[in-house]
Structure formats: structure tokens, C-alpha cells
Chains A and B, each alone.
Chain A
């Protein structure tokens, strides 16, 4: 057998190949090790010790081990929170530190973890199994854990945990009142009292002067104008500031300043942000309202206003800002003077007759009559006549000594 021709390479190539082999083994060990680095192993181990201490080794052997998951097909959620929050359904750890604490029993009666999972109410990222990712404190996850920490960062009035009520209202949005959701209930009452529907459509009903708010919670945070907002640049912060003083954020807005308190503004912001589309499984919500009907009294009051002597002002939209008390028309916003005495009032304010002013308005009315409420010359004539009728009615009531008190 002839010898093999000598090669110029092997001397250095062999150790290099060996070195590459060693690096490959190390890199394999490295990723295998990285794959095991999860805090839940510690939490589960610790919980086993706690149970053993409290209830004995037999029960400790039944504690969960490995990744746990609640799969909610109707909501398309796989929540792995119970991997770390091992004590959720255990009794006896009510005062333990998180993640070893028992979940309060009351909300779970109607919303068992096995059926609803966790993230539908608490927010956060159910897919994840590590704290930061699961609590949504990472980039590219828009649903943070709606917990106390986040509430504190917004200095929520009263209850720092209230942000979670936003998620209650995703399913309970059509209820007038929901047990346990105080802030949301408060906001819903404000929506009724302040007459937001005079300008905004909510759930298919309302005026068209302002934007439709039915799904406003879906509006992306990037789509708000933050130029005049100081502090946190979030949709929630924007709404709080906007409710407190609309004009401070949007200069040419026609939305009146209702002088809401901080609590009001926070409650309303939570309410509007909860108005978003979500996966909805009707089987999960037996007995929960799925439409938002008016009560009989509300319907009657509205009907009276619309068909009464002041109906024209309601249909035209004047009533959004102006009451016409003599006709029983009550403005929800009441930012303009009562039109019952417009004939006299316009003369006093502008030194012009009502005919002249309606035809050639100045100031705010020139903006409103050129943008929000556009009237033909014929309609303007109707308006003038109606206003004269209102004033005549006012003088008649005044003569009788029954004149209503007017907002100016």
C-alpha cells in the first residue's frame, strides 16, 4: 500500500476542529441551561414547603408542578398565571405574600378560574410564564396587569386597585350597575346625568355633534394628540386630562368643560377605555344584559321633549347647549343661555334684533351655525318665530308670576 501524500494542513486544523467541537458542546449546554431558568420552579418548590408545613407532606405532594394552563376557548385565552400563582384555589393562604396568596373567594363564585382564566379580568399576558412578560411590563404588550402598582402610578382616588374594573365592564358594559365595580358605576351615572348622549352616540344612541364613543376603547394610543399633554403619554392619562378640561388638550373642541373632579375624570376615563371589542362567548355570561335599552321613564321624558312645543329645538340640536325652559326643554350641557328670553337677551348682549342676529350671527354662534348646525334661510325664519313664541310664553308666565328660573 502506497503511503499517503503529506498534507500541509493537519497541524493547525485538528486542534481548531477540536476547539470548535468544545464550543459546540458548551453552546448546547448553555441553551439547555437557559431553557430551565424560570422563577416558577422556585415558587412551586417554596409553595410545596409551605403546604407541607401547614397541612403535611401528603397534601404537599398534590401541589402543582411544571407549567400550568387554563385554556378558555371562548375567549381564546391560555392563561398560565397559575404556574406561579400556585395558591389561587387553595384555602389557608389568604394572608401569604404573592404569588403564594389565595384568591379572594367572592369574585370567583361567579367567575371560576377554570372557566374564565385570569387575564380576562386582571389583564397581563397569560401566554407568558415569567413575571415581567406575564405582568405585561415588557415592550410590545399593550395589556398591562391592571393592579395596584399601575393604579398608584396614576394616583387613583380612593381605590388603587380600581383599574381592573375596566375589564369587568368589557362584559358588563350594558348593565346600569355592576356589583363590585364602583368606579364604573359612578361613571355610568355621570354619563346619564351629564347627558353625554346629547352629542355622542354610545351603543347606537345619541347625538352626532361629537364622535361616536361606542368602541372608543379600541382607539390606538398612537392616534391621540399628545402635544398639549404633560406627564404620562398614555390614552388613559389623555382621557383624564381631557375630561378635566377638554379645551386644554384640543384647542378648537366644542366639548364643554364640565368641571369634573379628579375622581369623576378617572372613573369616566376607565369607562370609555372599557368600551372596546373583545372576544365574547355568550355561554360565559348567562343573565348579563347584551343590549342597552332605555327605561320607560327615560323614553317618555325624551319623547315629551321631542314632541312638545320645544321639539323643533331638540331636533335641530340647539338643546345641546341651550335649555328652553318655558317649553320644558332641558339642555344636558347648559353652556349657553336659556333661549326662553333670547329675544330680549340678544338685544341686551349684542345690541341687535333677534332677526338680525340669527341671520348674521357673531361670536360662538357664528361658529356653531356655520359648522355644527347649518340652517337654510327658511329654517332661520322658523327659528326666529319659535324664539318669539318662547318669549311670548315667558312673558305670559311672568305676568302670572310663574316664570321659571333661567340659566344664563
Chain B
């Protein structure tokens, strides 16, 4: 007992020497800057934070802490996935039954499943919003720091978004109900519309020509091991790069402004701010982002905010999970197509575009699956990936909301986002049987039952 107390309590005689950390556990209420810094150095989880953080990067209204929320959701998904891993049976004969058991008789099983499901949906939303925020604030751009390569962290972010979508998609199939089976049918059929290699890609995805046991086990392993593993590794790298790039992009911008020194007119590329920062033409003196009046200690100011975001995310998910029951449709049946058969909601904008680009002239049909399902998303992903290198806006607009010289690209980006949203909403709420259009006030035809 005395040992534990000794660990938790600071000993007054401990010498304050470099490299000696008087406390084994970090304190929420450090009494000195030294103690605050020690908390970072001596803790495995906290050491990815700098000991001092640029104050404005903690602002709620700058980043909305969407990355932290995404990470919290990922954590929640891993933790809620572990009990599910023990309860779920990845076989076509028993998967559906095991989910029924989780839902009805496992203690808290329905809640664990709902937490997993809600977290998955929210993570898609949070990661997508995080990407939108980073784009709109130009945070993929390098600012004034040395050795920055934020554009690569942006590329990693895009890959992580795709991984998030694919994680959610592979999880969709596991309950082996009608919703799962047909969402995956629609999804993989879109993949098969790629010319030449389409059928092979589909066969590779589903492990055969029909969605069967081979598909289930493939998606199961992808969902439980490969994709979360890949996402975890990329997440660690993503965080490390944020540190290497000098924290949030906001810091770069504020560092320049806080200097109060006029920036001379830029004559040519040689004299851009980047060049200045790298010391080619020392016209502007850049303040250190570690100046005492501009920074706060990561412990406890950053950790407290992170705790608020993480715990609030947990609370929100828990409440939603208790309030919204998780659907489980009829057992998968390859012979009966539910009408309408819809892809997962985050792919509905693609399904909508596929329908809208499918043109029938008499008996001749131009299939939109290739355009809407392959070309368009491929183009968008490519554009997203290479955008940091196409973006010509000034380094001064890094880490700011709606700067003037990014007005056009931000407007274009927002228009695209809006378009995706509109198509998603149409696909989710306004498409009924046979993918016919129904206004919200129009009733869908009655769905027949057996008896």
C-alpha cells in the first residue's frame, strides 16, 4: 500500500535533476512547468504530444477536434469489437444466429453491437468532416516550419478515409442478413463494371463468383485484422507526422502574424514566404512557436481538452446506442432481392450517380456503373490525393478558415461536397422500390408478407 502511495505522491526530497521524473504517474494538476513537461516525457501515451502547445491550435472553432473524435471512435470500435469477436461466428450457417444471440440474450450484447455500429457510422462522418476541415483551412499546406511535408500527411489521411469506408463496408456483410448480402452485392457489382479486369476484381473481392462462405471469411479477416491493423499503423504515422510538421497548421500562420513584422511584397517565387522561412532571404523574422506567451503546457490544457472530446464521444455513442436499435433483417437469401436494394449510406451517392448515368435508348442500355462507380470516384480520389501539389495559394493562407486566395478552390470543393450530400440524401430517403423516386410525403407501395 505504501508503495502505491509512494508512486502516486510526489516525494519532496526527490532531486529535480534532468532525466529524473519524480512521479510515476502524471498529474492532472502540475504545479510547475517542469512537472507539466515531465508528464509528457514520462508517459508512453502522452509522449506523442509536445510538452508545449501553440495556444490557438487548441481552439474549438479551428479544428473542431474532429481528428481526436475520429481516433476516439476508432478506439471505441476496437474495444467494442473485441467482445463481438468472441460472440460472432463467421460461418454462413451460424453468423445470423450468433448475431441474434448477441442481440437478444448476451448481457449488454445489444448495446455492444449498437456501440460498434453507431461508432462505425459516426467514424465515417467524423473522418469525412475532418478531411473537409483540413481542406477548407488549407492545412495540408506547408507553412513556415523547416522540413515540413504536410502534403504527404494529407495523402495518408485520404488513404485512412478509404480504409475507414472499407472497414465499414466489410463489417456490413458480417451479420449475413438481407441488408448485408445485398449491400455487398450492389457494392461488388459496381467493382465488376471496370472494363477488362472488373470480373476478376470482383472475384478477388468475394473469393469466388457468388457471395458465399468464401466471401464471408474474406471480409471477416479484412474487417477484424488487416484493415484495423493498417489503419492503426497509418494512424500512428499520421500523428507522428503532425508532430514533425510542427503541430496543427494554424500554428504556422499565427507564428507569422504574431511577429508583427511587415512581410514585403513577393516579387517572384524565389522570395515566397517558404523561401524566407528556409532562410534563403531573411526578410521576415519568424517568432518561435514556443514563446511563453503564445503557448500552453500540453498537460493539462491539451490533455484535458482531449479528455473532454474523447469522453464526450464515448457518452454520445453510448446514449445513441441505447436509444437506436441496430437493424437485423431477414437471413441472407440470394434468391430474393429486397426492393430497393441499397448500398451502405456512404456509397449511396455513387449508386445514385450510377442510376442517373444509366441511359436506356430503346432496348440499348448504357450502363452507368463504370462511370458512376469507377471513373467518378477514381477521379475524385486522384484529385484529392494530388491536390496539395496543384494548390498554388500562398503559404500565408495555411491554417486559416476561408482565406481570400483560396476562395475559388474552397467554393469548388464545397460545391462538390454539397453535391455528394444531395445525392446521398436522395439515395437514402427519396428512393423507393425499383429505385423509383418518391417524395417524403408519398407512400411506398406495400411490401408483401408471406402470411
Contact = CB atoms under 8 A, between A and B. Distances in A.
Interface of A: 1-5, 7-10, 13-14, 16-17, 20-21, 23-24, 27-28, 30-32, 34-35, 67, 69, 76, 78, 80, 127-129, 133, 140-144, 146, 150, 163, 166, 220-224, 226, 233-236, 238, 273
Given A1-B31, A28-B318, A76-B97, A273 B104 contact: no
A236 B450 contact: yes
A241 B445 CA distance: 20
Nearest to B108: A35
A21 B308 CA distance: 9
A2 B300 CA distance: 17
Contact of A24 (B58, B93, B318, B330): B318
Interface stretch (B144-152, B256-264, B331-339): B331-339
Contacts of A143: 450
B450 A273 contact: yes
A31 B336 contact: no
Q: Which 3 A-B pairs have the closest CB atoms?
A: A220-B336, A27-B318, A221-B448
Given A4-B32, A221-B448, A13 B108 contact: no
Given A24-B315, A234-B449, 6 more contacts: A7-B297, A16-B308, A31-B321, A35-B110, A233-B446, A236-B450
Interface string B84-111: 0000000001000100110111011011
Given A23-B312, A163-B451, A17 B307 contact: yes
Contacts of B104: 80, 127-129, 133
Given A34-B111, A78-B97, A234-B451, A9 B58 contact: yes
A53 to B, nearest CB: 30
B191 to A, nearest CB: 26
5 contacts: A4-B35, A23-B319, A142-B330, A222-B337, A222-B448
A220 B319 CA distance: 37
Interface residues of B, number: 56
B405 interface: no
Contact of A31 (B30, B108, B301, B329): B108
Contacts of B305: 9, 13
B127 to A, nearest CB: 22
Interface of B: 16, 30-36, 55, 58, 93, 97, 100-101, 103-105, 107-108, 110-111, 177-178, 292, 296-297, 300-301, 304-305, 307-308, 311-312, 314-315, 318-319, 321-322, 327-330, 333, 335-339, 446-451
Contacts of A23: 312, 315, 319
Contacts of A9: 58, 296, 301, 304-305
Contacts of A222: 336-339, 447-448
A129 B296 contact: no
A330 B325 CA distance: 60
Given A13-B301, A34-B322, A233-B448, A2 B315 contact: no
Nearest to B333: A220
B105 A220 contact: no
B308 A235 contact: no
Given A8-B296, A234-B449, A223 B336 contact: yes
Contacts of B100: 127-128
Contact of A127 (B101, B322, B329, B451): B101
Contacts of B308: 13, 16-17, 20
A142 B296 contact: no
Contacts of A17: 304, 307-308, 311
A7 B304 CA distance: 12
Nearest to A217: B450
B33 A2 contact: yes
A32 B321 CA distance: 12
Contacts of B307: 17, 20
A13 B333 CA distance: 52
A23 B32 CA distance: 31
B111 A2 contact: no
